Amino acid sequence: MFSETKVNKELDRIFEKYQVPSCRAPQLDLLIENHLAIINKLQNDLNKLREELTYHKKIHGEITDSLDEFFTIQRLSSIITEKLEYEQIVKNLDEIAQKVVPHLKSAVFLLENEQITSVVNQSSKDFDLIIKNMREEGILDWLWEQGHPIVIPVQDFLVANQLKVNSGNMVIAPMILNQKGVGVYILHTEKDQSQFSFRDLELLNILTQQAAIAIQYTRLFKKLERTHEALKNSQARLMQTIKLATVGELAGGIAHEINNPLQIILGNVQMALMGYKTENNLKIVEAQAIRIANIVRGLLSMAKQNSISKSEYIEINSLIVNTLNLVRGQIEKRGIKLNLELADKLPLVKGSSIYFQQIFLNFILHAKKQIDQNGTIFIRSYQGENSNIFVEIRDTGIPMPSEYIEKILDPFKEMSNSTEMNLGMSVSVQMVRDIGGEISIDSAENKGNNITIQIPKVNKDEVNYDANFPSTG
């Protein structure tokens, strides 16, 4: 900053040096004053510009650094959580943490059922001793309360004389979920304690928390997998129980089914013993024996464990006829008529013949129960507009109430209120959906009940004609 006094003194020095009279014209004083004012104004503007430039550099620099750090953390966090496997989570965490805090060894310990153990069973004995000691001394509880990583020189641990390492520092970062300690991440580093910055520890803390979240997700995922597997096993056992119950229900009618062909066989054998040995008698005996064998084979197959995963190419019409052979006797015994309307040349379907047979059998037996006496069961097969196969099972029996149908079509809902009958129907509905099919149930007064099953067909290019086709009996 320039002042008038300073300028005057400088002028007096010059005048004295060169022996110039000290008197100055008024015009010169005015000119000097004007120049001083301009110089001072320019100096003030320059100082303001310098201050603004420094401020903007600081602000924009901090914003850029913050954004870079934010995106870096986001990218690193996504790497940690991209796999739902303990080993991969720990590996990803360790690789990223290595860039923040270079270290020689590391491990993740989780607290579960009041026991804290290494996640992947790769921890060193030194880490085991340190974590055990910290747990006993209450240091881990304190660390979880604080919620920030700590750096401790190896020699400061109470168990230092038992450790193989005798130099460097241990960095211990807490894992916290829902304000509760669930584990710790421990690293052994040669980095000096004084060299750790707040940003280093804060970034390590963020990465550790991301790992904790990923591990928690993995726990929940694995628990869900176990629950799902247990549910599948329970449903399989339930289906098997219903199948056995169906076999028991068939037992009464099987006696009638077998008795009729047996009577025919005995009659022809007696004719043969009396000397009437003809080829026709033998053919009749053979046909009736095959009929009995098919009935028994069908009954035995119903009792076997079977899975939807078994792949066969099935002719639906043949399967319907074979299923009816198991129950025809007890249906006709009640005076119930069977009316079949089976379409010609239906496409094949793919699946398990026993699985499909169980579905049809459950619905046919249900239709029989609804009729009770002297009615009709209509069974129709046809190909729909979407090329899928439809099977209708209609009866002239008592209409099912709407709330009953609702329970059937929503399998495994309110199971505690299910009866043996609607439980079997519910399982059958679920079995239809398991093969990619759909089902609809309609009931009306004086019209009975109509169950329509839609089954996906097999495309021609999928059919392997060398595959084993189920026996049609």
Show Cβ contacts of residue 353 under 8 Å, excluding neighbours closer than 6 positions: 312, 314, 319, 470
Q: Which of the four pLDDT bands, split at 50, 70 and 90, describes residue 243? A: low
Q: Which of 228-237, 251-260, 395-404 has the weakest average pLDDT?
A: 251-260
Class of domain 308-473: alpha beta
Show Cβ contacts of residue 136 under 8 Å, excluding neighbours closer than 6 positions: none
- Enter the pTM of the model: 0.46
Would you call 174 helix, strand, or coil by DSSP? strand
Domain ranges of the chain: 4-76, 83-225, 308-473
Q: Which of 37-41, 78-82, 227-231, 266-270 has the weakest average pLDDT?
A: 78-82
Would you call 103 helix, strand, or coil by DSSP? coil
CATH architecture, domain defined by 83-225 = 2-Layer Sandwich (3.30)
Q: Is the pLDDT of residue 221 over 60?
A: yes
Q: Is the pLDDT of residue 286 over 90?
A: no
**What is the C-alpha to C-alpha distance for residues 130 and 140, in angstroms, rounded to an integer?**
11
Please check whether residue 350 is in contact with residue 311, taking contact to mean a CB–CB distance below 8 angstroms.
yes
**What is the C-alpha to C-alpha distance for residues 190 and 139, in angstroms, rounded to an integer?**
22
Q: Is the pLDDT of residue 186 over 90?
A: yes
Q: Is the pLDDT of residue 297 over 70?
A: no
Q: Which helix (H) or strand (E) holds 346?
A: none
